[in-house]
Structure 1
Amino acid sequence: MAPYRRDADYLEALLTQHGVPIRRAAGVEEMLVLLEQSPGIIVATHEALKPEVLEIVRRHLIDQPAWSEMPLVVLLDRSAPQTRIRAELSTAWPRSRQIYYQRPVTALELLSGIQSSLLARLRQRDVRDHIEREVELRRELNHRVKNILASISSIFEMTRRRAVALNDFADDFAGRLRALANVHSAVFQADGEGVELRHVVDLTFSPYQTENQNRLAFEGPTILLRPEAATTLGLCLHELATNALKYGALSQPGGRIKLNWTISSDDDLLTLQWVESGGPPACEPSRSGYGTRYIRSALSGLFGTPPSILFDRQGLQCIFGGPLSRVSWEHREA
């Protein structure tokens, strides 16, 4: 802001020449518009600082966020009452960062001061970004901790209901917590990125594999899961594997499990198929246990449709899936 002589033209030419983008405020209305865009600094000659301008800047300084301290560069004429002007501005703009230059000022001195002020402003915005990231991370951590505690509470209650002995309860509960911890570790190591479905499956199957015998096989295309989808699928696969160990294919030496997943080319529909063989015939229980109830509830919530659980003579089959967009990292909302 420099209303007289050719000060504004000189400042614009000098700063533009050195790569500093500027906007000129020709009047109060334009100044209000520019201040809404959160400028880096304000540069003004003292002649431009009329009472209405002082009030507009004062309100802007009061309303600026805690991280912000916008520099105010004031160019004073050599013949102006400098002490009085500084005192008036300090009263009008308390606790503000004011930088004064006496005209005529050398180009190097003025340019160096403005660039230093802009650098300080960039650092302030770095602090702002850091604060915003920290707040977002805290919200995410709080959200995940609540989800984990809710999962643990649900696992505890439903495991307790079906337990007939303390040792059985302890083993089942510990196994489910380990599954939750393994998948959570994978999600954490992904550092907010997608988690590969193959990695989740491998983590779930690894406790049941032996060095000389591969009883669980899996195959499917690469899919990056959202963190919450990875956790849900990991827990559901753990329940299926635990059931197979107790009653299904893994309860006998010759039993096998195969997990396949495919994506239809027409409508991006993800389908997963769990098939057991070589074990005892699968018989539908008279009362659903925790694992079955959890699988039905969790997969219905995840995909929007319930899983199909088939109690076949050849072994248990579980087919489930839905729109890829509900679980895929690449299809997450912006």
Structure 2
Amino acid sequence: MQVEESDLDWVLILAPYRRDGAYLEALLVEHGLPVQQALDAEAFVACITDSPGVVVVTHEALTPDVIEAVSVHLVAQAHWSELPIVVLLDRSVPHARIRSQLEKIWPGARQIYYQRPVAGLELISGIQSALAIRRRQKEVRDHIDKEVEFRLELNHRVKNILASVSSIFQMTRRGAHSVDELAEDFEGRLNALANVHSAVFQAGGDAVSLATVIDLTVLPYRTEGEGRLGVHGPDITITGEAGTTLALCLHELATNAIKYGAMSQVAGKVLLTWEVTSDTEPVFTMEWQESGGPPVSAPTRVGYGTRYIRSALATLFGEPPVMSYAAEGFRCTVSGPLQRISPDDRPERPIL
């Protein structure tokens, strides 16, 4: 019977004398157990490298080559693995001496001994129990591997978050004129970062809905009615990294609009739009357009927010954003290949 090399849930039999091998194979197959029978020592040496779940061997088949092959396999197996070996002993052989010798030679094995003749039901129960333990070993191994991978990923994410927080704080500090201003600006930026990380976590992976990112980011600025800050565009899935970058940029734009731009005036409005167009490859374009605010003019000093937006969006899309200080209102437009921010380049439902 053919078995998968990576599957530990099968039995390797070595019982080459008389009809023991055929009887054991028929018995195990009858009870639904996958079996590979080795007809001689050479075949056994080749089969054991395929990682059986349980080995069943008659004591007279334990030649030096077979014993050595098992020893080599036990040394090579992973630290979590404990190979069950069922040894069938004749009544006439010195049981205690054989067991003592094999326990010294095979310390990395779970050895199970039966005296022949052995009842079929007893043997099946023992092998099924050994396979169940083997499966449990593999489940524990998989759990540990996932746990290690999770911890490494968590460590990587925490380092990235701390680096982002440190960078935001340092740049905010350099642009602040008072402790209160520092605290207010830093808190707002930190909240924007936290909101997106929460959205990514709730999404259950490294991707997040652009609509969710935008809703979380602009919601605090829509308390006076949605008409003052409108959003329109197709919902797409973007990477967590892209979501964080866009959220922080939108936060800076909204903060600037409240302090100096359109939202500092009762009649001022902001329209945030985005679209995906495609001639050959999908292109993502996002625009922040202000209107109805105070007269606009280019700033004499470039602050943290502007520097961050330019640098972050240029890194994200490969092209810097275009910032226009036209009299009718400030405008910021960025465009780049959709594939840079999302594994899914198809627009989905529109946000109305």
Do they fold alike, i.e. is TM over 0.5?
Answer: yes
For 1:33 and 1:290, the matched residues in 2 are separated by: 67
Q: Offset at 1:158?
A: 0.8
Q: Offset at 1:205?
A: 0.6
Which residue is equivalent to 2:63? Answer: 50
Residues 165-217 of structure 1 show CA distances to partners (whole Å, capped at 9, x for unaligned) of: 22211211111111111112222222325311101100101111125453112
Whether the aligned pair in 1 keeps the contact of 2:75 and 2:108 (CA below 8 Å) is no
Distance 1:198 1:93, change over 3 A: same
Which residue is equivalent to 2:135? Answer: 122
1:162-241 alignment runs, 5 A limit: 162-192=175-205, 194-210=207-223, 212-241=225-254
Which residue is equivalent to 1:312? Answer: 326
Letter in 1 for 2:196: V
Distance 1:292 1:57, change over 3 A: same
For 2:227 and 2:144, the matched residues in 1 are separated by: 49
Secondary structure at the aligned position of 2:109 is classed as coil
Q: Offset at 1:129?
A: 1.1
Kindly tell me the number of residue pairs found equivalent between the two proteins. Answer: 331
Q: Offset at 1:326?
A: 2.5
- The answer to whether structure 1 residue 79 and structure 2 residue 75 are counterparts is no
Q: Offset at 1:301?
A: 2.0
Whether the aligned pair in 1 keeps the contact of 2:91 and 2:115 (CA below 8 Å) is yes
Pick from 298, 307, 315 the counterpart of residue 293 of structure 1. Answer: 307
Secondary structure at the aligned position of 2:188 is classed as helix
Which residue is equivalent to 2:27? Answer: 14
TM-score w.r.t. the length of structure 1 is: 0.91
For 2:118 and 2:147, the matched residues in 1 are separated by: 42
Whether the aligned pair in 2 keeps the contact of 1:76 and 1:103 (CA below 8 Å) is yes
Distance 1:281 1:60, change over 3 A: farther
Q: Offset at 1:263?
A: 2.1
Secondary structure at the aligned position of 1:319 is classed as strand
Letter in 1 for 2:102: L
Distance 1:80 1:146, change over 3 A: same
Which residue is equivalent to 1:4? Answer: 17
For 2:47 and 2:322, the matched residues in 1 are separated by: 60
Letter in 1 for 2:267: G
Residues 15-54 of structure 1 show CA distances to partners (whole Å, capped at 9, x for unaligned) of: 2232221223345554455444332122212222222222
Distance 1:28 1:299, change over 3 A: farther
Greater strand share, structure number:
2
Which residue is equivalent to 1:280? Answer: 294
Whether the aligned pair in 2 keeps the contact of 1:3 and 1:47 (CA below 8 Å) is no
TM-score w.r.t. the length of structure 2 is: 0.87
Whether the aligned pair in 2 keeps the contact of 1:197 and 1:230 (CA below 8 Å) is yes
Distance 1:219 1:81, change over 3 A: same
Letter in 2 for 1:59: V
Distance 1:212 1:317, change over 3 A: closer
Distance 1:37 1:253, change over 3 A: farther
- Choose 177-186 or 54-63, whichever is displaced more: 54-63
For 2:42 and 2:344, the matched residues in 1 are separated by: 45
Unmatched tracts of structure 2, length 5 or more: 1-13, 346-352
Equivalent pairs: percent with the same residue? 59
Unmatched tracts of structure 1, length 5 or more: none
Distance 1:185 1:94, change over 3 A: same
Whether the aligned pair in 2 keeps the contact of 1:254 and 1:279 (CA below 8 Å) is yes
Distance 1:47 1:269, change over 3 A: farther
Distance 1:71 1:255, change over 3 A: same
Which residue is equivalent to 2:78? Answer: 65
